[in-house]
Amino acid sequence: MSIPYTQASMALVRAVDGTYISYPFVDRGDTTTKVYNLACTQRASDYNAAQIDLDDNMSSAANAGVIELPSGWADSNAYFVGDTNHSPIAGGMLQFTRTFANIPAYSQTSIGSYGYTFPGLGGFAAGTLQESDIASVSMTLGTLGVTLVTSDALTLVEGDKIDIMLKYKDAGSDFVYVISGEVFILSVANSTTFTVDIGRYFDSQTTLTLVSGDVRKPSNENRPPLQKQGQLTESLTYILPGVTVGISSVDDIQVPPTFSPWEVVISEGSPTQYNRVNVLSTSSHPTAAEYLTIMKNRESIVTESSLTKWLGNILVQSVKTVKAQ
């Protein structure tokens, strides 16, 4: 009787047909980050889940724990994130997927609008109220915003915030656009001509027809908290503790705090209090004036942040911000 013979190589992990590379972030413009998916087989009785450690790199076949890597696959910046999809096959063999991944690059993406309660503003001294009817509205292809001409001279500078009521339509159309609310001055040509961003963006030169409109620059910047839609941006940072510079363990990772204004209250004979506030003033942090500068500079505040697992030990820190209004 012949003695059954089993090739010694069956005890080793072999990458077979079905092995492929994926690019998970092409939709973000990242064509560099790769996930290596090795379709592997091995004699089931010889499989060892601890053969290689999470975070081991794929600089060689030996490091990857396989007999041979596909040509050109060696990548010292790809890290082991796990074996998955285990299933038995004929002949006492086991098939599974062995995965290595690069640490994805940092990305920042606008992901739409977001309803947010922006802080109220207080403590501004009264000034001079300025008002005027709008005499005309126009746009120039390639220039952000629309240009308004007012009937009366106004004292405005770039970055000022004004209230606007504007009704207009495209020439030849009966559809009337109505814009009512706060807008920022993008540029000032003279005392009656300035440009504002009303949130409409043109792909061709269009003649605009004024229906009616007026502008108002309040005597001060005071206002209650404002519930409004804002532009939301998500920033993603991928971290592998022990590999990412400065991060030895998960405990080294700090998640950015959300925007939470506060005010110090000092009363004689009582402990100092630190109160969260939703209306900024001359004594809050930030002050109302500082927040107004944040708005004029079109800067963003943190609305939400989190830390979650991506693949293996690779973590992803998500920070969502909205443009201050």
The set of residues, in sequence order, having a beta carbon less than 8 Å from that of 13 and lying 6+ positions away, is 40, 41, 42, 51, 65, 66, 67, 98
Contact 319, 307 (CB under 8 A): no
For residues 122-146, one letter each, b for 16 or more C-beta atoms within 10 angstroms of the residue's C-beta and e for the rest, the string is bbbeeeeebebebebbbbeeeeebb
The set of residues, in sequence order, having a beta carbon less than 8 Å from that of 12 and lying 6+ positions away, is 42, 46, 66, 67
DSSP 8-state class, residue 10: G
Please tell me the predicted confidence (pLDDT) of residue 28. Answer: 86
Which residues of the chain carry a pLDDT beneath 50?
Answer: 1-6
Domain residue ranges of the chain, discontinuous segments joined by +? 8-102, 107-117+225-323, 127-217
What whole-number distance in Å separates Cα of residue 221 and Cα of residue 292? 8
Phi, psi dihedral angles at 80 (to 5 degrees): -65, 130
Please tell me the predicted confidence (pLDDT) of residue 7. Answer: 56
Please tell me the predicted confidence (pLDDT) of residue 57. Answer: 97
What whole-number distance in Å separates Cα of residue 51 and Cα of residue 116? 50
Dihedral of alpha carbons 281, 282, 285, 286, sign: positive
Q: What three-state secondary structure class fits 33? A: coil
Nearest C-alpha neighbor of 306 from the set 297, 289, 295, 318:
318
**For 258-303, how does the pLDDT look when each residue is reduced to its tens digit (9 = 90+)?**
999 999 877 676 777 788 999 999 999 999 999 999 988 889 999 9
Please tell me the predicted confidence (pLDDT) of residue 161. Answer: 87
**What topology does CATH give the domain 127-217?**
Elongation Factor Tu (Ef-tu); domain 3 (2.40.30)
What whole-number distance in Å separates Cα of residue 263 and Cα of residue 280? 8
Q: What three-state secondary structure class fits 169? A: strand
Please tell me the predicted confidence (pLDDT) of residue 266. Answer: 73
Please tell me the predicted confidence (pLDDT) of residue 81. Answer: 98
20 CB neighbour count, 10 Å cutoff:
12
